[in-house]
Amino acid sequence: MQKMPQWAEVVLVPLISLFLAAILSALVILGIGEDPIEAVNLMITGALGSTYGWGYTLYYATNFMFTGLAVAVAYHAGLFNIGGEGQATLGGLGVALVCLMLPWPHWSLALIAAILGSALFGAFWAMIPGYLQARRGSHIVITTIMFNFIAAALMNYVLVNMLRPAGSMDPATERFPEAVHLPSLHDVLAVFGINFSKAAPANVSLLIAMIACLLVWILIWRTRLGYEIRSFGKSESAARYAGIAPARITIITMLLSGALAGCMAINNVMGEAERLVLNAVEGAGFIGIAVALMGRSHPFGVFLAAILFGFLYQGGAELALWTSIPRELIVVIQALVILFTGALDNMVRAPLEKVFLAMRRAPKSERKTQAAE
Amino acid sequence: MTFKQKFLGSAAALALSAGAALAEPALIFDLGGKFDKSFNEAAFNGATRWAEETGNNFREIELQSEAQREQALRRFAEAGNNPIVMAGFAFADALGQVAADYPDTRFTIIDMVVDAPNVRSVVFNEHEGSYLVGMMAAKASESGTVGFIGGMDIPLIRKFACGYAQGVKAVNPDATVVANMTGTTPAAWNDPVKGSELTKAQISQGADVVYAAAGGTGVGVLQTAADENILSIGVDSNQNYLHPGKVLTSMMKRVDNAVHQAFTDGAEMETGFQVMGLANGGVGYAMDEHNEALVSEDMKSAVDDAASKISSGEITVHDYMSDDSCPVLSF
């Protein structure tokens, strides 16, 4: 039995969590002697008040959609993939190799190849923990987080010793050729006569991310594989009884999850930086966990949560630019939102469920007394 | 003071600063953060000195992520901040992209050269300053072995090491220079624990003076050197005060002067290539009450003599970055 209606589950719980986080953040801002209302204003106008702000918000949101979907897909199979960071790092390597090694005539061809490259590298990085979980029983949480460190070390080696152009001090690849430059939202929307900021990094990857949301929805709820993944996630023994091979589902799910995380690289590496730098992922892999939790592992929820976190990131950057709120405090504010929407979810959910149950019981008992009469 | 008073005060301050935002200069710190006691802090000090002298304000931001480099540059440029100064070679790529879009804004980049008509590139002759502190290290050393601990292994830091080694050898041709780098990534700028480990390793190899050119990592080097009762040499800012009587001197890289100069020149600054060396006070060694007992008259006169010879061109210190090699030190 559902304890509360769907709309409360999807809308009310996250909104109340968000509200609580906002109140605590306001207190923290007050505590250091800044004006919280001014800060909120700055965040909203900075992130949503101009096409420039939207451009950055959507750019960050694109990253979070990919990593959020990666966590969500694995979650449906009962696997907690916290290696999105490492998988996206490897995805970046895939994109860089595709863009640098071959002379591409047009960006669209390069984009298709880059999606394949990044997905392949990301999937590979998730496959090893997936295999270890399926065949050796090594817990996926432990292995995926360890693979984040291995990915960082590997990237360090590759960039410093192999891909760094001669004479450069920065551990980064050379710039990708002009031909693989992805059209920004400015270029895309100009076709429809909409004037979008030219400076913002949001690009066609946003559309790819939205298509990915749709594909994940189809996969999970409209295909046989998705059904197998969900039944495996709900109960492994029941799935086994129904003839679903646990090892196969574990590995396939991790491949899909890693591929989605890896695809993030088409946005940050190919779309924004146009070269591969160290630590290009910048924590988006971990934000993906919060995004998936907040979106209740539903692709549309992930889409909305990703935009919320994009707003927090861009709004936070604006705060750092125009106030004297130190950058550490901006991380605190972001962390409070993650804490309330992700970790402390039950704190809001449990009382809310009680309220709804109480509301439901009341009319029922009335009906009973009516029937008795 | 109550919360409410604080709240009103800051709101008023915000309103005031918002009105005066036009044409304020701006300073962008690198990922190390502005209170690294070294490079970024030197930049911050220069800007603060300018603000105190003129009574004007400046904008500043500590970056959180790589994507913000370009974002911060564009935001400041679009808001009319002029000039915009950035501390660190890692800005070169972003500035190369941005500079042409804002032809009326003047940019200053420190430690790197960006070739654009509205950019001033400030580079320092770190090898000259390092040469001087190398001489002092060799004179202060009793074991004949001195150490060098670099941050990230990049040509710029090798330039420090090479100048230092040349100074050491100029005083004592038989001296041994032990050189280590903390890492190969930007994380090496802020790893005091590893700096401490490297210092211990160098002490076990006989080093009794260590020179840290490692940003925030140097804090660990200086701490361990003081704990183990050997001498250390600070870098960028004057770090003598961190452990009075234990820090022989600091190789001053006057990033503060470069920032101060850029802010003073303002929106009309001359752009182009600017070298800050011994001759124009861009580099030097620090003397104050914390290290005067450590520096003998003989040491001081020898170093000052070398300094004037380098300024006049009588001594040339080899610059590692000119040919990616060092005659007296191998990496």
d(C-alpha A94, C-alpha A84), whole Å: 15
Confidence of residue A365 (pLDDT cuts 50, 70, 90): low
Which pLDDT band holds residue A370 (cuts at 50, 70, 90)?
low
Residue B229, pLDDT above cutoff 90 = yes
Question: In angstroms, rounded to a whole number, what is the distance separating the alpha carbons of residues A105 and A25?
Answer: 49
Q: Is B100 on the interface with A (CB under 8 A)?
A: no
Q: In the predicted model, is pLDDT for residue B13 greater than 60?
A: no
pLDDT tens string A198-231: 878 899 999 999 999 999 999 999 999 999 999 9
CA distance B58 to B294: 38
The residue of chain B with its CA nearest to that of A160 is B184
pLDDT, mean of residues B121-128: 93
Residue of chain B whose Cα is closest to the Cα of A155: B185
CB contact under 8 A, A282 and B67: yes
> What is the pLDDT at residue B5?
45
Q: What is the pLDDT of residue B185?
A: 77
pLDDT in tens, A51-86: 989 999 999 999 999 999 999 999 999 999 999 999
Q: What pLDDT band is residue B9 in, cutting at 50, 70 and 90?
A: very low
More confident residue, B325 or B185: B325
Q: Is B57 on the interface with A (CB under 8 A)?
A: no
CB of B202 closer than 8 Å to CB of B140: no
Chain B residues whose CB is inside 8 A of the A268 CB are 67
Give the one of A268, A275, A327 whose C-beta lies nearest to B64's C-beta. A327
Biggest CA–CA distance in chain B, Å, is 67
Q: What confidence score (pLDDT) does residue B287 get? A: 92
Give me the mean pLDDT over the A8-16 stretch.
81
Q: Are the CB atoms for B106 and B118 separated by under 8 Å?
A: yes
Closest residue in B to A279 (Cα–Cα): B66
List C-alpha distances in Å: B228 to A274, B192, B290. 47, 16, 18
Residue pair B193/B221 in contact by the 8 Å Cβ criterion: no
Q: Does domain B21-124+258-266 have CATH number 1.20.120.1200?
A: no
**Interface residue B75 vs chain A (CB under 8 A):** yes
Higher pLDDT, A6 or A30: A30
Q: Which residue has the tokens 């060092």?
A: B326
pLDDT (tens digit, 9 = 90+) per residue, B167-186?
A: 999 999 999 999 999 988 77
Q: Do B89 and A170 touch (CB under 8 A)?
A: yes
Would you place residue A116 in the very low, low, confident or very high pLDDT band (cuts 50, 70, 90)? very high
Q: Is the pLDDT of residue B165 over 90?
A: yes
List the beta strands (DSSP E) in chain A. none
Q: What confidence score (pLDDT) does residue B19 get?
A: 40
* pLDDT at position A103 over 60: yes
Backbone angles phi, psi at B61, to 5 degrees: -150, 140
C-alpha dihedral, B120 to B121 to B124 to B127, nearest 10°:
-160
Residues 6+ apart with CB under 8 A from A364: none
Asked whether the bond before A299 is cis by omega within 30 degrees of 0, the reply is no
Whether chain A has a CB inside 8 Å of the CB on B186: the answer is yes
pTM: 0.81
- Is residue A38 within a helix (H) or strand (E), and if so which, with residue range? helix A36-48
Nearest to B65 among A171, A175, A282 (CB): A282
Flag if A175 and B93 touch (Cβ within 8 Å). yes
Q: What are the structural domain ranges in chain B?
A: 21-124+258-266, 126-252+294-323
Query: CB of A99 within 8 A of CB of A111?
Result: no
The pLDDT tens digits for B129-149 are: 999 999 999 999 999 999 999
Chain A hits for B101, Cβ within 8 Å: 199
Residue labelled with tokens 């009884």: A241
Find out whether the peptide bond into B83 is cis, omega within 30 degrees of 0: yes
**Cβ within 8 Å of residue A271, ≥6 positions away:** A59, A62, A182, A184, A201, A203, A204, A205
Instruction: Report the residue from B62, B112, B156 with minimal CB separation from A320.
Output: B62
Nearest chain B Cα distance for residue A320, angstroms: 6
Range in A258-272, A356-370, B36-50, B200-214 the model is least confident about: A356-370
User: Considering only CB atoms, which residues of chain A are within 8 Å of chain B?
Assistant: 30-31, 33-35, 38, 56, 59, 156, 160, 167, 169-172, 175, 199, 201, 268, 272-273, 275, 277-280, 282, 316-317, 320-321, 323, 326-327, 330-331
E strand or H helix at B250: strand B247-253
Q: Which of A33, A169, A320 sits opposite B6 (nearest CB)?
A: A33
Please list the residues that pair with B86 across neighbouring strands. Answer: B28, B109
Q: Do B67 and A272 touch (CB under 8 A)?
A: yes
| In contact, A119 and A259? CB cutoff 8 Å | yes
Flag whether residue B80 sits within 8 Å of chain A, measured between CB atoms.
no
Domain B126-252+294-323 classified CATH 3.40.50.2300? yes
- Percent with pLDDT over 90 in chain A: 54
Tell whether the model's pLDDT for residue B2 goes beyond 70.
no
Question: If you measure CA to CA, which chain A residue comes closest to B66?
Answer: A280
Beta bridge partners of B285: B251
In the block, which residue shows the tokens 């040339």? B316
Check for a shared fold between B21-124+258-266 and B126-252+294-323: yes
Of A369, A140, A95, nearest to A259 by C-alpha is A95
Nearest to A56 among B33, B71, B101 (CB): B71
Kindly report which listed range (A123-137, A272-286, A341-355, B115-129) carries the lowest average pLDDT score: A341-355
Q: Do A156 and B184 touch (CB under 8 A)?
A: yes
Return d(Cα B290, Cα B243) in angstroms, integer.
8
What residues contact residue B96 under an 8 Å CB cut-off, 6+ apart? B114, B116
* pLDDT at residue B277 tops 60: yes
Is the pLDDT assigned to residue B22 strictly greater than 60?
Answer: no
Q: Which long-range contacts (CB under 8 A, 24 or more apart) does B118-123 make?
A: B118/B271, B119/B95, B119/B271, B120/B83, B120/B262, B120/B269, B120/B270, B120/B271, B120/B272, B120/B274, B121/B272, B121/B273, B121/B274, B122/B258, B122/B262, B122/B274, B122/B276, B123/B273, B123/B274, B123/B275, B123/B276
> Looking at the complex, does the CB of residue B48 fall below 8 Å from at least one CB of chain A?
no
Confidence of residue A364 (pLDDT cuts 50, 70, 90): low
B73 touching A, CB under 8 A? Answer: no
User: In residues, how long is chain B?
Assistant: 331
Residue pair A236/A246 in contact by the 8 Å Cβ criterion = yes
Model confidence pLDDT, tens digit, residues A131-186 = 999 999 999 999 999 999 999 989 988 988 888 887 777 788 888 998 999 999 99
Structure tokens at A2: 């559902």
Which residue among B9, B62, B185 places its CB closest to the CB of A327? B62
Q: Residue ranges of the domains in chain A?
A: 63-307
Collect all residues with Cβ–Cβ distance below 8 Å to A112 and sequence separation of at least 6: none
- pLDDT of A226-277, one tens digit each? 999 999 999 999 999 999 999 999 999 999 999 999 999 999 999 988 889 8
Q: What is the pLDDT of residue B16?
A: 41
Q: Which residue is closest to A26 within chain B, CA to CA?
A: B7
pLDDT exceeds cutoff 50 at B258: yes
Nearest chain A residue to B26 by CA: give it. Answer: A321
Task: Mean pLDDT check: name the lowest of A180-184, A364-368, B9-13.
Answer: B9-13
Q: Provide the pairing of β-strand B283-285 with B247-253.
A: antiparallel
Contact list, A320 vs chain B (CB under 8 Å): 61-62, 64, 68
Contact of B272 with chain A, judged by CB distance below 8 Å, is answered with: no
Considering only CB atoms, which chain B residues are within 8 Å of A160?
A: 184-185
The CA distance from B183 to B169, in Å, is 26
Tell me which chain B residues have a C-beta less than 8 angstroms from the C-beta of A201: 67
Mutation target to probe the A interface, by most A beta carbons within 10 A, among B1, B24, B93 is B93
Q: What six digits make up the tokens of A150?
A: 């291995």
Q: Lowest mean pLDDT: which of A2-6, A238-242, B94-98, B217-221? A: A2-6
Average pLDDT over residues B247-271: 91
Query: CA-CA distance, A270 to A177, in Å (whole number)?
Result: 11
Interface test with A, best of B24, B35, B184 (most A CBs within 10 A): B184
- For chain A, the average pLDDT equals 89
pLDDT at B3: 44
d(CA B211, CA B230): 11
Chain B residues whose CB is inside 8 A of the A332 CB are none
- Can you tell me the distance from the alpha carbon of B270 to that of B113, in angstroms, rounded to the nearest whole number? 15
CB–CB of A331 and B66 under 8 A?
A: no
The whole-number pLDDT of residue A90 equals 96
Which band of pLDDT confidence, cut at 50, 70 and 90, is reported for residue B323? confident
Are the Cβ atoms of A199 and B74 closer than 8 angstroms? Answer: yes
CA distance A21 to chain B (A): 20
Residues of B in contact with A282 (CB under 8 A): 65-67
Strands of the sheet containing B26-29, edge to edge, are B59-62, B26-29, B84-87, B107-110, B119-124, B272-276
Chain B's closest residue to A330, CA to CA, is B64
